[in-house]
Amino acid sequence: MKTIDTRELAAWLDATLQAPRFKDYCPNGLQVEGKPRVGHIITGVTASEALLRAAIERGADAVLVHHGWFWKNEDPRVRGPRRTRLAVTLAHDLNLFAYHLPLDAHPQWGNNAQLARVLGLEPEFDATGAPLTCGPDNLIWLGTAPGLDTLDALAERVRQRLGRAPLVVGEPGRPLARVAWCTGAAQGMLADAVQAGADAYITGEASEPTVHLARETGTGFIGAGHHATERYGVQALGQAVAQQFGIRVEFVDIDNPV
């Protein structure tokens, strides 16, 4: 089986995702060092105990996720579920790679780029050919939904493509021109999408104030699920790793209704 040096893989991922440029809520990159060489990677959305055990059952050398560990303002003590996850990882010499905002933002393999692909959204581009974005760290993508004329039609597309009924706020017949989207827990960026002239905004979650802002601005809001909107970036990144290094990469979807 072909393998790659763990540190070489980490360096390639860091450079490809431009990890150092992000001020994130967690460390990006190699979070837990395991085996010195990697030939088999399991990718997933979150480094949960279930994903770690799936990686062990499949004989993987590393886990690559969007949601890793060591988040800001977390209790740093190693006990309970945190202890179990870390103990399992160390006992089996697993490498844990995690990329949060860098994976959201990547123009090709990122969560926003891949959600656009899955939903059939057409990104707008600026004069340099880069996706047109707005909001903090330019994480919100702007574009259109070709063939979809109303908020209700867009919501139905989301339901069909993501396999779950989304939360929808707004008039079903609202016409669509510009659509904005940002995966995960980006409900706090709704105001940025409104300011950018979006007729509808797609993200993963909603907070209590989200509904009021959507109603009062007339902007359609679609909460399509945090996990559901972020399943695709890590899969695309995993495929890129497999092509780049010729190693085995598998995606494991640990279902999460949130």
The annotation places the binding site at 66-67, 104, 226, 230
Query: Residue 167's CB: how many other CB atoms inside 10 A?
Result: 15
Helix, strand or coil, per DSSP, at residue 117: helix
Cα 48 to Cα 138: distance, rounded to the nearest angstrom:
28
Strands 29-32 and 95-98, by their bridges, are antiparallel
**Structure-derived torsion over alpha carbons of residues 229, 186, 78, 43, reported in degrees to the nearest 10:** 20
Q: 12 near 47, Cβ under 8 Å? A: no
Cα 182 to Cα 187: distance, rounded to the nearest angstrom:
9
Candidates 81, 83, 91, 66; CA nearest to 228 is 66
Hey, what are 98's tokens? Answer: 């995690």
Cα 203 to Cα 184: distance, rounded to the nearest angstrom:
6
Strands 40-46 and 62-67, by their bridges, are parallel
Q: Binding site membership for a divalent metal cation: which residues?
A: 66-67, 104, 226, 230
Q: Among all chains, which residue has been given the structure tokens 């980006």?
A: 186
